[in-house]
Amino acid sequence: MHPTVNIAVRAARAAGDIILRYHNQVDLLTIENKSENDFVSEVDKTAESAIIKEIKKAFPQHSVLGEESGKMIGDNDYQWIIDPLDGTTNYLHGFPQYAVSIALIEKKITSHAVIYDPFKEELFTASKGEGAYLNNERIRVTSTNGLKDTLIGTGFPFKHPQHLDCYIETFRAIHPHVSGIRRAGAAALDLAYLAAGRLDGFWEIGLNSWDMAAGALMVKEAGGFIGDFSGRDKYMETGNVVAGNSDVYKQILKKIHPHLTQDLQR
């Protein structure tokens, strides 16, 4: 494992320990509503602080973009993008689908990624050009051709209700052609699952960079494709994501494109 990934793993495990410490005591937590349907708890904040502490100990000059703390000043050629608890709503309801997500972007290229599910003790790691791994075992996307018999992941645009009608139309376009569609509520894990072959494809509207930075590298390193709704590599800018193996990726793009509003095609 690359030394930088080891640092990220240490940070993710520190956050995971905090997350598990309170997972049976969520009724005692202080919970704030950042915006409609977007919650943050003291666990999110404490876990993020633990991650930043580990990163800054090893790389004091690097900058950090965290979901809760925002951007910290530092060397912009080396920026860590972190989500201390992807799936906060799941966590607060005792639904065990959440994870820590950490990625390092070096000179605008994502070089290392860690996604850690502390509840299931599953550690996904990836480094550019070195493959993707689950608990140190190599993982690959599925080799499915077409959408028939596939299992596709997605996410409802609950933070962007203006896109709900459009999303429903894309759902209608995909639904008849696949075995099933799953909405588990943690995009980082959805992308990690895709990399591990548990899902065949994925699409979602309006993600943030910390939701997908680590997962995007995992998908690529596992042999998959990821892009925005126009098939470009601007998903980190637009927040709109399609991913899968080569054929599934193309098929999802083809099915949803006629139903996208003009602003989602940019």
Same-domain status, 7 and 69: yes
73, with CB counted inside 10 A (0-12, 13-18, 19+), is exposed
Query: 66: domain range?
Result: 3-138
Other CB atoms within 10 Å distance of the CB of residue 148: 10
Quick one: pLDDT at residue 71? 74
Quick one: pLDDT at residue 261? 84
Q: Which of 19-28, 105-114, 151-160 has the lowest mean pLDDT?
A: 19-28
pLDDT digits (tens, 9 = 90+) for 172-217: 999 999 999 999 999 999 999 999 999 999 999 999 999 999 999 9
Residue 111 lies in a domain: yes
186-213 b/e with 16+ CB inside 10 Å = b? bbbbbbbbbbbbbbbbbbbbbbbbbbbb
pLDDT digits (tens, 9 = 90+) for 122-147: 999 999 999 999 999 999 999 999 99
Quick one: pLDDT at residue 27? 67
103-122 b/e with 16+ CB inside 10 Å = b? bbbeeeebbbbbbbbbeeeb
pLDDT digits (tens, 9 = 90+) for 244-259: 999 999 999 999 999 9
The answer to whether residue 36 scores a pLDDT higher than 60 is no
Inter-axis angle of helices 42-58 and 3-21, nearest 10: 160
Domain count, the chain: 2
Quick one: pLDDT at residue 38? 44
Same-domain status, 23 and 113: yes
Same-domain status, 213 and 113: no
- How confident is residue 266, by pLDDT bands cut at 50, 70 and 90? low
Same-domain status, 34 and 161: no
Same-domain status, 199 and 85: no
Same-domain status, 133 and 7: yes
Whole-angstrom distance, CA of residue 224 vs CA of residue 198: 13
The answer to whether residue 24 scores a pLDDT higher than 90 is no
Residue 174 lies in a domain: yes
Same-domain status, 210 and 181: yes
Same-domain status, 226 and 131: no
Residue 144 lies in a domain: no
- Which residue, of 138, 170, 202, is where some domain finishes? 138
Mean pLDDT of 105-109: 94
Percent of the chain with pLDDT over 90: 78
pLDDT digits (tens, 9 = 90+) for 49-76: 999 999 999 999 999 998 777 777 777 8
Cα atoms in the 13 Å half-sphere on the side-chain side of 108 = 3
